[in-house]
Amino acid sequence: MKGLKQTSQADKGLTLLECLAAVAVTLLATATITPQVFLVNATRVQNQRAEQAVALAQAEMERAKVRVEQGDYTGAELPPVAFTTTTTCTGSSGTKIESAAAPNTTVASASAVTSFRQAYLVDINRDSQPDYFVQTFRDSGQVAGINSQPVTFRMGVRVYTASASSNLNSLSTEPASLKFTTGQGTQSNRPLAVGYSVLTRNDTKMSLDRYQQYITCNPVPEK
């Protein structure tokens, strides 16, 4: 009709085929990006847990160190002994503290621990749900004095995420691998933090002798 302008092909709307193609591209982009988002988030959570686990391990080490430095303690107030019948030391012929078995049960608090195979639960965010469980232990070391006080010994700490409690019968002692992951990775059965340290009381006249005997793996009778 006169006065009407014919619409060109370029002015027409999207066809159904073009709409479907756009939807397909959007879905493909979403499918490509989503796993990466989950990967980043899961890795961030894992790293945060690892930082908290390291802080827990350091706190246990520091607590034991302060107690030994103060000098007023007994063997029963230290972490439980992992080896009772074997000479243990840092020398090549001694049983290494690293070989202590992983925990196989958990208890409510550190004060409830009676065996090195027990680990106590820790609630970091105070939501009444455990976030970690901590295993502490030591070797028999060297003792001195009439009370056979341990004056030199090596201590170990392992911190596991609470979800690893479902694998208490098959826990590993090797540290978990912290890498990009969309799940729990190896932390489901490995500790997030592991630490070992030699603790020595240095304010007694026999402390140096005991320390030298300890690091050379030559235990001596008490004087």
pTM listed for this prediction: 0.75
Instruction: Give the Cα separation of 4 and 100 in Å (integer).
Output: 92
**Domain residue limits, the chain:** 15-215
Give the Cα separation of 1 and 34 in Å (integer).
Answer: 54
**DSSP β-bridge partners for residue 134:** 120, 159
Q: How far apart are CA 213 and CA 154, in angstroms?
A: 13
Write out pLDDT tens, residues 98-139.
899 999 999 999 999 999 999 999 999 999 999 999 999 999
| Of residues 160, 155, 180, the one with CA closest to residue 170 | 160
Confidence of residue 223 (pLDDT cuts 50, 70, 90): very low
Pull the structure tokens for residue 35.
């796993």
| Residue corresponding to tokens 């001596």 | 220
Q: Measured on CA atoms in the order 49, 51, 55, 61, is the torsion positive or negative?
A: positive
Does the structure show a pLDDT above 50 at 215?
Answer: yes
Residue 212 has which token pair? 């030298």
C-alpha 216: how far from its chain's center? Answer: 30
Does residue 190 carry a pLDDT above 90? yes
Residue 1 clears pLDDT 90, i.e. is over it: no
pLDDT band at 37; cut points 50, 70, 90:
very low
Query: Average of pLDDT values for 4-19?
Result: 56
Can you give the pLDDT at residue 186? 81
